[in-house]
């Protein structure tokens, strides 16, 4: 399958590890790509073979959760109510995050000085999640403005989920499961949209 070609000398995880160290040592802003590449033993350009941008390093885990969410969405049984389906898929995805090991970026964002960067680059990620929910939801809703409602539900649910993830990460190593935080805020949103539109 992998045919000819020079084998990869440095792996993605090595760059991630080097970056995490440097971010913790001296903060995100003061760490240059040059330094990350150097610690990983590769050239600056090679970094860009593995990551499209510096901020991509912050979102590795979350990007993985999007794949998990997409898989959970297609696995929803057809006879389930669409809104319950979304809740089901979200809980399923949340189970992938063990209570003990929250992503480093979420727990150490203060020492990394990374909050500005998270704000600056987070929306693209969030919208990717929302798009996944929306594409699941849109064809399964009825009514004239199903597309509009699907997008609104997707974005609203995602907002609630973001709050849950933030709370979960902030709760420290003895935190409850992400799932329990999630259900407390996702469920209300979905029940609000459960009844067909009145007007």
Regarding 77 and contact with DNA (CB under 7 A), the answer is: no
**Span of 36-44, 58-66, 100-108, 153-161 interacting with DNA by CB under 7 A:** 36-44
**What own/partner pairs with CB < 8 Å and gap ≥ 24 does 80-83 have?**
82/136, 82/137, 82/140, 82/141, 83/153, 83/190, 83/193, 83/194
Which residue, 8 or 101, has its beta carbon nearer to DNA? Answer: 8
| Separation of alpha carbons 165 and 94, rounded Å | 9
Q: Which CB, 41 or 188, lies closer to DNA?
A: 41
Q: 5 or 172, CB closer to DNA?
A: 5
72 binds, among DNA, a second copy, none (CB under 5 to 8 A by kind): none
Contact 158, 132 (CB under 8 A): no
Burial of 48 (0-12, 13-18, 19+ CB in 10 A): middle
The site map against a second copy for 81-120 (x = CB under 8 A) is --------------------------------------xx
Span 152-171, contacts to a second copy by CB under 8 A: 152-160, 162-164, 166-167
For the chain, the distance separating the N- and C-terminal CA atoms, rounded to the nearest angstrom, is 56
Rounded to the nearest 5°, which phi and psi values hold at 35?
Answer: -65, -40
Positions in the binding site for a second copy (CB under 8 A): 119-124, 126-127, 130, 145, 148-149, 151-160, 162-164, 166-167, 181, 184-185, 187-193, 195, 197, 199
């Amino acid at each position: 399958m992998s045919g000819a070609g020079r084998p990869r000398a440095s792996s993605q995880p090595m760059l991630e590890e080097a970056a995490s160290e440097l971010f913790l040592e001296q903060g995100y802003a003061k760490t240059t790509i040059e330094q990350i590449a150097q610690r990983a033993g590769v050239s600056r350009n090679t970094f860009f073979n593995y990551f499209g941008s510096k901020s991509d390093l912050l979102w590795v885990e979350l990007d993985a959760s999007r794949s998990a969410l997409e898989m959970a969405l297609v696995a929803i049984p057809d006879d389930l109510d669409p809104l319950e389906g979304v809740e089901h898929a979200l809980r399923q995805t949340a189970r992938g995050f063990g209570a003990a090991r929250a992503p480093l970026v979420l727990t150490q964002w203060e020492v990394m000085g990374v909050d500005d960067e998270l704000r600056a680059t987070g929306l693209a990620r969030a919208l990717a999640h929302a798009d996944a929910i929306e594409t699941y939801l849109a064809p399964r809703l009825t009514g004239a403005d199903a597309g509009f409602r699907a997008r609104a539900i997707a974005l609203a649910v995602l907002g609630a989920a973001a709050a849950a993830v933030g709370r979960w990460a902030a709760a420290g190593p003895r935190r409850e499961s992400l799932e329990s935080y999630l259900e407390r805020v996702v469920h209300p949103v979905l029940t609000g949209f459960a009844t067909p539109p009145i007007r």
